[in-house]
Structure 1
Amino acid sequence: MEETGDSLLPFRVLDEHGVEVEAVGEFLHHMLADDASAASLRSYAYELLAWFRFLRAVEVPWHVAGRAEARDFALWLKICKKPPRQRRADAPAAGSVNPVTGKATSGENYAARTRRHARAVIRSFYEYHREMHGRPLVNPFPKGRGDEDEHLNAHHNPMQPFRRLSRRAVYQPKEPKPAPRSIPDRAFNDLFAALSCNRDRALIAFYISTGARASELLGVRQGRVVPEEQLIGVVRKGSRALQQLPASTDAFVWLRLYQQEIRDLVPKGPDEALWWTLRRPFRPLTYDAARMVFNKANAVLGANWTLHDLRHSAAKRMVRDPDLTLADVQWVLGHAHITTTEVYTAPTPDEVIAHVLAHHERLRAGRAKPPAPPAPGYRPEVLAALFGAGTAGEGAR
C-alpha cells in the first residue's frame, strides 16, 4: 500500500508489479465521495490489501472469488499470527495479563474485532461493484441471515436497544463484548504522580475531565480554548463537528503552567496546535508520541493503561454522579445512541468485588439488614409454601 499525499486519493493499493489495483482505487474514490475520513480509507485499504494478497497466493482473480475463498480467508485470519514487531527485551509476552491492571496484552493472533472488520470491508467492496457494474454476481461474504434483515431497525426507537440479527452471517466471528475498563481513582492518582512535565499533566487532566477521544484532544487548536468558561473545542471523530466540552479547573491550571513554559518557543495563533513536542525542532504532538509518553508513566507503575482507558474512566465518573443524567453523559462523550452510553452504567468487576466483600463483612459483624416482614393479610401457610418455613412474619394472618 502507498500513501500518495493526494487529497483526492490519499492511499493506493498496488499489485506485485507496483501497479495500482483499479478496482480498489475506484472503491476508495467512492468512499471519499461518501465523506469517509482519511483514517477510514487507510483502514479499508489495508484490509483489501490483505484480501488481494490472499487471492494472489491461491491464484484466484478477485472477480471470480466465491464462498470457498471466503471460507479459507476466514480460517487463515483465525489461525495465522500477526506480523512480528520489534519489541523490547523486557516487554510482556503476547496475551499475558498485567498484574496491576488485570488487562491482557495483545495476543499473537488477530482479534475477533479485527476479523469482523475485515469481513465487513470486503463485503462492502463487493457490494459496491455489484451495484455499479453488475458484477461479480455473487458476493463471497453474504449478508446476515434472517427474514427481517433488510428492515431490522428501520423504525428504531432511540430509547430502546438495537435489535440484533437472529443469526450471525456466514464466516462472521462472534462479537466480543468486553466491559469498559476504567482506571480506579487510586490507580489514576498514582499514574498522574508518575507524569514528569506540566504538558503531560495538562493533557491527562483534560482526558479525564472531558472524556474526549485521544485523537480529538490532540487535534485541539489554540483558538478553541476558552479558560474563562472552562471550555475546550474538539472536532468529533465521527461527525467531524466542532463541539465545546467542559473541563475541570485543574486541567486549565496545568495548561496555563505548560503554556508559560513554551512561551515564545512555538508558533502562536488561533489555528496553531495546542500541544507540542518538548524537544527541538518543536512539532505538533501526534498520537504515537502521546502514547509513548503515557507508556513511560506506565513503566514506572508496571501497568498497561491506555489513553482510551481515560475516556472510559471519565464516563464512569460522570455516570456515578447522581446530578448528571445519562443524556448529559451521552452528549459529552459524543455517542450517537444512548444505548452506547448505557454500557457505563454496568458496575465494573472492582466495584462488584468491593460491594460483595462489604456484604460479607456486614454478615460477619451481624449488621446485615433483616428481610422486610410480609405485608399484613397473607396467610403464614401460603408464605411458607412459597418461600420456605420461617418466612411468615408476625403481621401475617
Structure 2
Amino acid sequence: MTELPADYRDYLQHARVQQRLSPRTLRLYTDGLQRLQALLADAAIDARALTLAQARRLAAQLHREGLAPKSIALQLSVWRSAYRWLGLQGRVALNPFDGLRAPKAPRPLPKALAVDDAVQLAAHAPGEAADARLEARDRALVELLYGAGLRAAELIGLDAQASGSAAGWVDLQAAEVHVLGKGGKRRSTPLGRAAAEALRGWLAVRGQLAAAGEPALFVGARGHRLAGSTLRAMLAARAVQAGMPAHVHPHMLRHSFASHLLQSSGDLRAVQELLGHAHITTTQVYTQLDHQHLARIYDAAHPRAKK
C-alpha cells in the first residue's frame, strides 16, 4: 500500500491528537484516505485541485465497485472531514465532497413471524418447574405485544390503575389499552379475548410480586417496574422454548400484529390507527410484507407458478 501524501497524514495526526479518535476509527479513516489516494492516482487527479465533478465521479466509482450504500456513506464522510480540515488550513480552495451524499439504502422490511408461529408462541406454556407468578406475567406480556401491537416502551410503561400521571393503563371492562406513544400521542387499542384472559391471570397474582406502592402493571422479580432488558431476555428465551425458527424480540411481535391484521382485513388506515403511526407511509411497509405472503401462496398453489 502506497504512503499517503503529507496532507492526508497531517489530517490523520490532527484526528488522533486533537479529535482524539479511537484507534478503530483512525483505522477506518486511514483506509478511507488510502482508497481515495488510489482512486486519485488511477485518474491522475491532483488531490489539492479536486473538483466537485471529479468528486462525483469518484463516488460513482465506489458504486461501480459494488460497495453498499452504507459503505459509500462512510467513505464520503471520511473524505468530507479530511477536506474540511484541509480547507481550514488553507491547503484547498473548496471541499468537493460538501453536499455529496451516498445513494439511499433500501429500507429493510420489518421481520414478522408467520401466523402459526405467532400463535404458537402466544400459546406456549413452560413446564411445571416455572414460577407460576412469572409465567402469568410473561403470558400477559406476550399477549399484549402480539394482541395489541404495543411497543416495548408502551408495554412496560403501563400502570395498574388509571390516573392523571399514568403513561398508560388497561381498561378490562371496556377491553381497551390506553397508551402514550411516540411524540406524546395517546391512543387506545382494543384488547382481545386472549389478552384480556391472560391479563386477568396476571392481576390475580401481581400483588404477590409487586412492591408496596408500585404503580407499574408489570413488575420484575424485585417488585418494581419491569426493565426493557428483562422483557427482551424473557421473550428471546420463551421463543427458543417454543421452537421459534428465528430470534424473537418485542418489536417483531408488533410487526406480526400489523402484518397479520393487514393480511386479514386489507384496511391500511385501521392498521395505522392501531399502531399509532403519524404518517400512512410508515404503515405502508406492511403492504410489502402482505405482497410477499400472497406471492408465497401463489407460488405454492397456482399450477402455472410451478416449475
TM-score category (smaller protein): 0.5 to 0.7
Alignment CA distance shift 1:362-1:225 (3 Å): same
Distance in structure 2 (CA, Å) of the matches to 1:241 and 1:194: 33
Quick one: which amino acid aligns to residue 341 of structure 1? T
Q: Describe the SS at the equivalent of 2:184.
A: coil
Distance in structure 1 (CA, Å) of the matches to 2:123 and 2:192: 18
Offset, 1:112:
4.2
Paired residues for 1:193-204 under 5 Å: 193-196=123-126, 197-204=135-142
Distance in structure 2 (CA, Å) of the matches to 1:74 and 1:204: 46
Q: Describe the SS at the equivalent of 1:321.
A: helix
- State whether residues 258 and 275 of structure 2, in contact with CA within 8 Å, keep that contact through their aligned partners in structure 1: yes
Structure 1: gaps of 5 or more residues: 1-53, 63-68, 77-110, 127-137, 146-168, 365-397
Tell me the residue number matched to 1:177: 107
Tell me the residue number matched to 1:192: 122
Alignment CA distance shift 1:363-1:265 (3 Å): closer
Distance in structure 1 (CA, Å) of the matches to 2:199 and 2:95: 52
Tell me the residue number matched to 1:266: 210
Which of the pair has the greater relative contact order for Cα pairs under 8 Å at 6+ separation? 2
Tell me the residue number matched to 2:187: 243
Instruction: Please tell me whether residue 316 in structure 1 is matched to residue 259 in structure 2.
Output: yes
- State whether residues 112 and 255 of structure 2, in contact with CA within 8 Å, keep that contact through their aligned partners in structure 1: yes
TM-score by length of 2: 0.60
Distance in structure 2 (CA, Å) of the matches to 1:74 and 1:234: 48
More helix by share: 2
Tell me the residue number matched to 2:237: 296
Tell me the residue number matched to 1:151: none
Distance in structure 2 (CA, Å) of the matches to 1:268 and 1:226: 22
Tell me the residue number matched to 2:173: 228
Tell me the residue number matched to 1:58: 16
RMSD across aligned C-alpha pairs, in angstroms?
A: 3.8
Offset, 1:56:
7.2
| Equivalent residue for 1:215, pick from 153, 175, 180 | 153
Distance in structure 2 (CA, Å) of the matches to 1:193 and 1:142: 55
Distance in structure 1 (CA, Å) of the matches to 2:279 and 2:95: 30
| Equivalent residue for 2:277, pick from 327, 335, 349 | 335
Distance in structure 2 (CA, Å) of the matches to 1:256 and 1:202: 8
Paired residues for 1:122-161 under 5 Å: 142-143=98-99
Q: Describe the SS at the equivalent of 2:147.
A: helix
Distance in structure 2 (CA, Å) of the matches to 1:194 and 1:233: 26
Q: Deviations over 1:325-367 (max 9, x none)?
A: 3222111111121111111112354542222120128989xxx
Tell me the residue number matched to 2:250: 307
Distance in structure 1 (CA, Å) of the matches to 2:199 and 2:285: 31
Tell me the residue number matched to 2:225: 284
Q: Deviations over 1:156-180 (max 9, x none)?
A: xxxxxxxxxxxxx1xx474232222
Q: Describe the SS at the equivalent of 2:246.
A: coil
Q: % of aligned pairs identical?
A: 27
Distance in structure 1 (CA, Å) of the matches to 2:293 and 2:211: 45
- Larger mean Cα displacement after TM superposition, 342-351 or 249-258: 342-351
Structure 2: gaps of 5 or more residues: 1-11, 21-25, 34-68, 85-93, 127-134, 163-168
Alignment CA distance shift 1:176-1:75 (3 Å): farther
Q: Describe the SS at the equivalent of 1:229.
A: coil
Alignment CA distance shift 1:72-1:331 (3 Å): same
Distance in structure 1 (CA, Å) of the matches to 2:204 and 2:96: 58
Alignment CA distance shift 1:275-1:357 (3 Å): same
| Equivalent residue for 1:353, pick from 296, 304, 307 | 296
Offset, 1:221:
1.2
Alignment CA distance shift 1:267-1:321 (3 Å): same
Tell me the residue number matched to 2:29: 72
Aligned residue pairs total 222
- State whether residues 212 and 311 of structure 1, in contact with CA within 8 Å, keep that contact through their aligned partners in structure 2: yes
